[in-house]
Amino acid sequence: MTTILSGTRYSDKDKRQWEKWYADGMTMAEICRRSGATRHTILRWLKEAKVPLRGNPRAFDRKAIMREIRKGKLNQTAIAKKFGCSQRLVSQLATGKLKP
């Protein structure tokens, strides 16, 4: 079966390849560069295939991160490392740009 997205045709074979690359540890950016597909397209296909996504900001325990920020014992880099998230996520929580 071939699906047309944004004027480009992607087959089930493409989808299986993206799933394999993702499972092998490639980042979304690497898959996009390699395949020529957009991040949105690949993300949608992975979600449809029920592939567990890594690094999704919604998957992190934001309240626990906020508790750590409020303690003030660790810097943002150390907090990010502790929770396995990006420093940007910690910074956005600390400045109120993201809600816990």
Compute mean pLDDT per 10 residues along the chain, 100 residues long, and list them.
57 88 85 88 87 69 92 93 86 89
Q: What is the dihedral of CA 25, 28, 29, 33, to 10 degrees?
A: 90
CA neighbor of 67 nearest in space, from 90, 33, 42, 37? 90
Eight-class DSSP state of 24: T
Q: How many residues does the chain have?
A: 100
pTM: 0.49
Q: Domain residues of the chain, as ranges?
A: 2-48, 57-95
CATH code, 2-48: 1.10.10
